[in-house]
Amino acid sequence: MPRILLTNDDGIYSNGLRAAVKALSELGEVYVVAPLFQRSASGRAMTLHRPIRAKRVNVPGAKIAYGIDGTPTDCVIFAIARFGDFDLAVSGINLGENLSTEITVSGTASAAIEASTHGIPSVAISLEVEWKKTLGEGEGIDFSVSAHFLRRIAAAVLEKGLPEGVDMLNVNVPSDASEGTGIAITRLARKRYSPTIEERIDPKGNPYYWIVGRLVQEFEPGTDAYALKVERKVSVTPVNIDMTAKTDFEDLYELLAL
């Protein structure tokens, strides 16, 4: 029976994770290792300067489940060290879309990227939701359509593997999707947010700062953001973890006079 690793960045008590367990348990044994707490936007950070702690958690449908007081990447490393190799790694279902090259900021996508560096075919899946709902546990959110696409994509990857040169799939599901919604194979948009700093003053008169972002509203056709935000399709982006620029190295030798 296939062994499936499931993690996320919303935390082990997220309803999106539990919907994913239900969908994936039909395909294999599901091992859940996820953060104990919300770890959105943690990227591929690892916890190296303190010990991490693990807590057994009851997650219906999972073969075993641990909550980790660390990052999503910590969870993947812990799972592989503790339970061995997996046939598939899934990160999600995330509360809120993960689009563009900013997937490197996403704990959801970065967990899948980490798993892929260990040779495990990986899928990150996110559901578009209102911003104010992205930091909860998914109360009142219907994950059934996202779970449908996750099961469909996971089954295909388990049966056929990923194409050569593809390390992970980044999947984004529109909030209004149905099981009949079309799928678009896309590339990553360049940018989703334009971040800046907002200064505020605390009661003692000292300044403090929030990183805030303005949403980019125009997207190129063929990108994940265009598929999700304009076409209202499920976006599936093939990702390769080799970030080396596809350029003629001779041009760089000439540029650097080497």
Q: Which of 29-38, 81-90, 214-223 has the lowest mean pLDDT?
A: 214-223
pLDDT score for 257: 83
> Where along the chain do its domains lie?
3-255
- Mean pLDDT calculated for residue range 144-156: 98
pLDDT band, residue 213 (cuts 50/70/90): confident
pLDDT score for 207: 96
Unique residue bearing structure tokens 């993960």: 98
* H-helix or E-strand spanning residue 170: strand 168-173
State how far the Cα of 98 lies from the Cα of 188, in Å rounded to an integer.
10
Whether the CA torsion 105, 113, 135, 48 is positive or negative: it is: negative
Backbone angles phi, psi at 4, to 5 degrees: -120, 125
The CATH-assigned architecture of domain 3-255 is: 3-Layer(aba) Sandwich (3.40)
3-state secondary structure of 223: strand
- Mean pLDDT calculated for residue range 217-230: 93
* H-helix or E-strand spanning residue 145: helix 144-160
State how far the Cα of 129 lies from the Cα of 8, in Å rounded to an integer.
16
